[in-house]
Structure 1
Amino acid sequence: MMNGQAFLQVENVSFGYGKQYVLKDVSLSMYSGEYTVLIGPNGSGKSTLIKLILGLLQQQDGQIQIQRSRVGYVAQQANRGLADFPATVREVVASGSYGQIGLLRWMGSKHWQGVERALDQVGLTEFASRKLSQLSGGQQQRVYIARALMSNPQLLILDEPTVGIDVQAKEQFYQLLKQLHQQGLSILLVSHDLDEVISDVDRVLCLNQSIYFYGSTQEFLREQKELLPNLFGVSTIRSIL
Structure 2
Amino acid sequence: MKNIITLKNIIWRRDGSEVLSDINWQVNEGEQWAILGLNGAGKTSLLDIIMGYNYPTQGEATVNGTEFGKMSLPEMRKRIGYVSSSLDKFNQTLNRETALSIILSGKFSSFGIYQEVDEASRHDAEKILHQLGLTYLKDRTYDSFSQGEKRRILIGRALMGQPDLLILDEPCSGLDVRAREDVLNIVRQIPNDNRHLIYVTHHIEELIPTISHVLLIKDGRILSAGKKEDVLTDKNLSETYKTNVEIIFNNNRPSLVIKDLEDKDEKNI
Partner of 1:166: 176
The offset of 1:105, in angstroms, is 2.8
Q: Any unmatched runs of 5+ in structure 2?
A: 65-75, 248-255, 259-269
The alignment's TM-score, normalised by the length of structure 1, stands at 0.89
Partner of 1:118: 128
Q: How many residues align?
A: 234
The offset of 1:58, in angstroms, is 1.5
SS at structure 1 position matched to 2:153? helix
Partner of 2:44: 47
CA RMSD of aligned residues (A): 2.1
- Partners of 2:187 and 2:210 within 8 A in 1: no
In structure 1, how many angstroms separate the alpha carbons of the residues matched to 2:57 and 2:201?
Answer: 26
In structure 2, how many angstroms separate the alpha carbons of the residues matched to 1:213 and 1:76?
Answer: 26
SS at structure 2 position matched to 1:188? strand
Partner of 1:214: 225
In structure 2, how many angstroms separate the alpha carbons of the residues matched to 1:45 and 1:82?
Answer: 26
Q: 1:37 to 1:117 in 2, by over 3 A?
A: same
Q: Any unmatched runs of 5+ in structure 1?
A: none
In structure 2, how many angstroms separate the alpha carbons of the residues matched to 1:103 and 1:200?
Answer: 33
Which of 95, 110, 117 is equivalent to 1:107?
117
Partner of 2:245: 235
* 2:152 is the alignment partner of 1:142: yes
The offset of 1:181, in angstroms, is 2.5
Which of 203, 213, 218 is equivalent to 1:203?
213
SS at structure 2 position matched to 1:56? coil
In structure 2, how many angstroms separate the alpha carbons of the residues matched to 1:169 and 1:178?
Answer: 15
The offset of 1:41, in angstroms, is 0.7
The offset of 1:159, in angstroms, is 0.8
In structure 1, how many angstroms separate the alpha carbons of the residues matched to 2:177 and 2:113?
Answer: 36
The offset of 1:147, in angstroms, is 0.5
After superposing the two structures, state which structure 1 stretch, 131-140 or 73-82, moved more: 73-82
SS at structure 2 position matched to 1:169? helix
The offset of 1:59, in angstroms, is 1.5
- Partners of 1:79 and 1:137 within 8 A in 2: no
SS at structure 2 position matched to 1:148? helix
In structure 2, how many angstroms separate the alpha carbons of the residues matched to 1:64 and 1:152?
Answer: 23
Q: Output aligned runs, 1:2-81, within 5 Å.
A: 4-67=1-64, 68=76, 69-76=78-85, 78-79=87-88, 81=90
SS at structure 1 position matched to 2:91? coil
SS at structure 2 position matched to 1:82? helix
Q: 1:103 to 1:90 in 2, by over 3 A?
A: closer
Q: Larger radius of gyration, structure 1 or 2?
A: 2
Q: Which amino acid aligns with 2:222?
A: I
The alignment's TM-score, normalised by the length of structure 2, stands at 0.80
The offset of 1:106, in angstroms, is 0.8
Q: Which amino acid aligns with 2:31?
A: E
In structure 1, how many angstroms separate the alpha carbons of the residues matched to 2:28 and 2:151?
Answer: 25
After superposing the two structures, state which structure 1 stretch, 143-152 or 191-200, moved more: 191-200
The offset of 1:173, in angstroms, is 0.9
